[in-house]
Structure formats: C-alpha cells, structure tokens
C-alpha cells in the first residue's frame, strides 16, 4: 500500500525522469534535423557512398546474426542435454565473460588468436601456408561479432530449454524418440518463438556496432554507419554527411525495433508437476561424444582470445604502465565518469520503477496514468532507437555555436553512458523492486514508515544487493565505452579505452595489451562484486 504522498512523489520522480530523457534525446535529434536543413553540405540519402555504407552495415549485421544464432543452437542444446558434468557451471560463467567485457579489450584478444601474428596464423604458417587468415575487413568483423553474441544467444536459448516441463522428456523417452524427432517436436517448438527476439537483439547490436568496426574494419570498404559518422566529424569535418548518416542510423534502428514488435512474446510451455528434469537422450554414448565436441569447440572459441589477452598483457611492464601519469589521469577520468553515469542510471531506474509501481497500485487507472506507464516503459529503451554515437553527434552539432564542443565532453559522456546502461539497470532492478514492495509494503504502511525512515530501515537493506549489482554493471559498461569518447575525446579528456585505442593506433601493441589487461581486470572485479553472493543455481538459471 502506498500513501497519497508516496504516490505523488513517485509520479513526480517518474515524470521528471521521463522529461529529462526525452529532452536530452529530443534536443540531440532536433539539432540533427536543424543542421540537416541548414547545412549547405548536407547530401541526399541516395549518395553512392552512403548507400555503400548502408549496404555493408546491413550485410555484416545480417551475416553476424545468422552465424551467431545458427552456432548457438547446437551449443545450447548440448548444455541442456548434459545438465551434469564437471565444470559445467564454469562453462556457463565463461559464456558470460564476453557480455561483460569491453568491446575493445575483446578485439585485442581476438587479434592475439586470429591476427597476423596470432596463434592460428602461426600454426598454419608452420605447415607451409602464408598468412591464410585476415582478421581485418568483413571476416574479422564477423568473427568478433560471433565471439560477443554467440554466448548471449546461447544463454538465452539455454534458459528457454531448461524451462521445458520434465514431463515432455519423460514422454519422449517412453516413446523412444530419436534426436531428430526430439529436436523437431520438443526443442524446436521451444526455440522457435525465442529466435525472433534473440536475432533482433543481435542484429541491433551488430547494426550499431562501432568499436569493433573501428578496430577491425580495415578501410573504407568495411565501414558501418556509426563509424562513417565518426569519420565525417572527426576527420573530414563534414557536418552535412554526419547528419544524413545519423538520421539514416535512426531510421534503420526504428525499422528493426518495429519489426521486433511484430513478433509475439514467447509463451509458457505448459503446466508441470515440478519434477526434476531427466533427459535420457543425453546419456547415450554417441550423444555425449557429440555434445563434448561441440562444448569443447565453443569453450576454445571463447576462452582462447581471453587467454591470449592475458598472456600478451603480462608481456608488458605492468608496474611501469600503472605508474605512468597519463594512465593515472585516464584511470581517474574513467572511474569518475563510470561512477557518475552508474549512479545516474540507478537513480533514473529507481524513479521509473517507483512511478510504474505507483501506477500499478491504482485500482482505477486514469488515461494519463496509463500513458505515463507506457511512456516510462518505452523511454528506458530509447537508447536502442537513438544509439550513443547518434546522441553524441546531435549534441556535437548543438554545441558547435557555443565554441569547442569538447569543453562539455565529460558531462555529455556521463549522460550518454547513463542512458546506454539504463535498459540493463532496469532489467536488474525491476523484478527485485517489485518483489521487495510486495513483501514489505503492507508492513511498512502498518508501521507508518515513510520517507527517509523507510529508506534506511526497509528499502536499503532489502534492495542493497540488486542496487550494487546494477551499479557495478553500469560502471563496467561505462568503463569500456569508446563511442562518445572517440567523438569528444581530446588531450584534456583521455579515458582508458581511448588510451588503449591510441596506443594500438600508434603500433605500441605491448603498451596497448598491458593497458587492456588492466582495464579488463577492473571490469572483471566490478562484475564479480556485482554478482557477489549469487549461488551457482541462481547464476545458471538466470543467465
């Protein structure tokens, strides 16, 4: 139960959060539209260069999505079919590492395996082949996208397969179904409704990919829309082309989001008595052998770049790098930005959750309350429609009349990173907040607890763990971001990812690997702190 004052405060916080998000994104988009109309250099969207960039963006996103989803299906099936084997929980944890790893750091690890001087080329040169694998261009972008997105698709599919009622496997075992029949009648009906959402999410991530393409693109022939925006402003200083590309990027993401909304949400698979799942099909020797090969291949594909990253980083003089004044300044800047954006994202997420909970508590919901609830639910994913590089470009154009936009860089990066982390923070906090309010709402109301007293005695003890989890994930996401920093970064504003990228660009690969290892360790520590206290069963279940 919420008092009238609590409802009013919750609604006010939600309205202010909604207004702030819409104002920040709206001003950026408005500046793009205004610049597009006013700029004499603004070219049409049918410009051959822009069409070539659009074609490559859609091509690499489509191929990356198909490869990630197709390769994730056998891995997810193997994990679901083998629920108990030594190291299974560590393999599932390994699948989570690329999702929390800064993209630039993952790219350096992939260079250690697939690069010109990488492990695979060294092995193939040993048998007489000369540089058979190139990590740059389309092939490298596809490998990198599969490295990051295959584990994501696998864990989402695994969660769906593990929700299949135990009775399905009991009946299929009694009927003596072969693996092909099991996949057709049991597993595929479960996976099919999940695939559109998974594929749409991966396509969106690949279509808005910036850091991977910037690092591994290899030239004008392998340039996506976001990288072209960066090049138009940073190198060519062609605001007209940057505006046209930004509007094109918004159109692409809008079409993808609209297509994703056409597919219905996955439904429950049926009632169950809650019996323990026993899959007889996974006990056959041939099935165990096939699953073993698939899981070992997946583990090597994910683990080898991480091992290469650690080994290359250890070759550098880490102590010397850690004492470098430039590194210390970059680390302080990155941590300050990460903490600020993390706290802002958590604050906005709490305000949104409180407002939506207040609306849900109303017995009769007026039209304005329903509209507010829908708007709050949609605005949290606004960053999917207007990607960070587009927001940064809009504010770059808006601030140009006031002088050098880099003067406002730190504030803008904090705001953009907070919006970038908001969907993930809300996903962590929303279920925890709902459960906490159900458990403590009536008791707190009966005791007359409200305001700061309720926060100190009830809310903070109950929500401390999910709040710290959300904060740690938001900080890790901000620490690894290169998008807005690449556009606004200058000699006075250097972050750890920009420092790594600049060292890599100047061919100081040892220093880049050392800085990358330090940054990766910081993000890993934040992730571990965020999941501290979570049991193996919870981790495997929630992915």
3-state SS string for 122-182: HHHHHCCCCCCCCCCCHHHHHHHHHHHHHHHHHHHHHHHHCCCCHHHHHHHHHHCCCHHHH
pLDDT along the chain (543 residues), means of 10: 72 89 90 71 66 92 95 91 83 82 87 84 77 80 93 87 71 70 79 88 89 80 87 80 86 85 64 55 76 93 92 88 90 92 93 84 75 80 80 87 83 91 84 77 70 72 83 86 77 84 80 88 77 49 45
- Residues 6 or more apart whose CB falls under 8 angstroms from that of 444 comprise 450, 454, 458
What pLDDT does residue 540 have?
44
pLDDT given for residue 543 in this prediction: 46
Where residue 206 sits, what CATH number does that domain have?
1.10.3720.10
Instruction: Name the 3-class secondary structure at 269.
Output: coil
Domain assignment present for residue 538? The answer is no
Answer whether residue 455 is part of any domain. no
Q: Give me the domain span that covers residue 225.
A: 39-307
pLDDT, position 247: 86
Residues 463 and 379 sit within 8 Å (Cβ to Cβ):
no
On whether residue 226 sits in a domain, the answer given is yes
Position 454 in a domain: no
Residue recorded with tokens 């154009």: 397
Question: 445-482 pLDDT, tens per residue?
Answer: 776 766 667 777 777 777 888 888 888 888 888 888 88
Which residues are within 8 A (CB) of 281 and not within 5 positions of it... i.e. 6 or more apart? 81, 169, 172, 173, 177, 179, 182, 287
Q: Residue 348's closest CA among 282, 414, 285, 291?
A: 414
Tell me whether residue 320 is in a domain: no
What's the N-to-C CA distance of the chain in angstroms?
Answer: 32
Asked whether residue 524 is domain-assigned, the answer is: no
Instruction: Assign residue 316 a region (left: φ > 0; alpha: ψ between -120 and 50; beta: otherwise).
Output: beta
Is the residue at 30 inside a domain? no
Question: Dihedrals φ, ψ of 32, to 5°?
Answer: -65, -45
Tokens of 48: 């051959």
What is the residue whose two structure tokens read 């709402």?
A: 441
pLDDT (0 to 100) of residue 1: 55
Reported residue count of the chain is: 543
The total domain count for the chain is: 1
pLDDT for res 273: 47
Reduce the DSSP state of residue 490 to 3 states and report it: strand
Q: What one-character DSSP code corresponds to residue 493?
A: B
CB atoms within 10 A of CB 428: 20
The answer to whether residue 158 sits within a structural domain is: yes
DSSP H or E segment with residue 97: helix 88-100
């Amino acid at each position: 139960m919420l008092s009238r004052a609590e409802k009013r405060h919750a609604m006010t916080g939600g309205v202010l959060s909604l207004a702030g998000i819409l104002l920040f994104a709206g001003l950026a988009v408005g500046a793009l539209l205004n610049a597009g109309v006013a700029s004499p250099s603004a070219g049409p969207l049918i410009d051959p260069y822009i069409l070539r960039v659009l074609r490559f963006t859609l091509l690499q996103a489509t191929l990356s999505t198909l490869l990630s989803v197709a390769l994730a299906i056998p891995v997810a099936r193997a994990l679901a079919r083998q629920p108990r084997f030594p190291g299974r929980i560590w393999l599932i944890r390994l699948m989570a590492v690329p999702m929390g790893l800064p993209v630039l750091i993952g790219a350096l690890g992939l260079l250690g395996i697939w690069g010109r001087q990488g492990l695979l080329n060294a092995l193939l040169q040993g048998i007489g082949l000369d540089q058979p694998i190139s990590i740059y261009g389309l092939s490298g972008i596809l490998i990198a996208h599969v490295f990051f997105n295959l584990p994501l698709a696998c864990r989402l599919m695994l969660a769906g397969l593990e929700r299949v009622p135990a009775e399905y496997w009991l009946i299929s075992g009694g009927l003596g179904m072969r693996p092909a029949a099991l996949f057709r009648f049991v597993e595929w009906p479960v996976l099919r409704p999940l695939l559109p959402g998974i594929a749409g999410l991966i396509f969106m991530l690949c279509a808005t990919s910036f850091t991977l393409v910037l690092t591994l693109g290899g030239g004008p022939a392998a340039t996506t829309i976001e990288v072209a925006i960066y090049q138009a402003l940073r190198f060519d200083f062609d605001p007209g082309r940057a505006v046209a590309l930004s509007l094109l990027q918004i159109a692409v993401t809008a079409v993808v989001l609209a297509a994703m909304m056409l597919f219905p949400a996955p439904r429950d698979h049926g009632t169950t008595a809650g019996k323990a799942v026993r899959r007889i099909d996974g006990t056959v020797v041939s099935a165990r052998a096939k699953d073993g090969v698939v899981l070992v291949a997946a583990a090597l594909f994910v683990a080898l770049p991480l091992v290469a990253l650690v080994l290359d980083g250890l070759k550098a003089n880490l102590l010397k790098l850690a004492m470098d004044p430039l590194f210390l300044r970059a680390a302080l800047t990155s941590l300050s930005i990460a903490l600020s954006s993390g706290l802002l994202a958590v604050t906005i997420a709490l305000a949104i959750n409180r407002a939506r909970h207040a609306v849900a508590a109303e017995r009769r919901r007026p039209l304005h309350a329903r509209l507010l609830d829908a708007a709050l639910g949609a605005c949290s994913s606004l960053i999917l429609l207007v990607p960070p590089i587009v927001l940064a470009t809009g504010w770059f154009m808006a601030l140009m009349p006031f002088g050098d936009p880099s003067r406002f860089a730190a504030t803008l990066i904090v705001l953009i990173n907070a919006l970038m982390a908001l969907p993930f923070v809300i996903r962590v906090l929303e279920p925890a907040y709902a459960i906490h309010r159900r458990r403590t709402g009536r008791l707190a109301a009966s005791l007359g607890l409200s305001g700061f007293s309720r926060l100190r005695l009830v809310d903070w003890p109950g929500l401390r763990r999910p709040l710290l989890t959300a904060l740690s994930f938001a900080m890790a996401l901000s620490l690894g971001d290169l998008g807005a920093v690449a556009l606004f970064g200058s000699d006075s504003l250097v972050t750890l990812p920009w420092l790594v990228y600049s060292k890599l660009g100047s061919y100081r690969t040892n220093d880049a690997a050392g800085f990358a290892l330090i940054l990766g360790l910081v993000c890993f520590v934040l992730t571990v702190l965020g999941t501290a206290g979570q049991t193996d069963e919870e981790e495997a279940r929630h992915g």
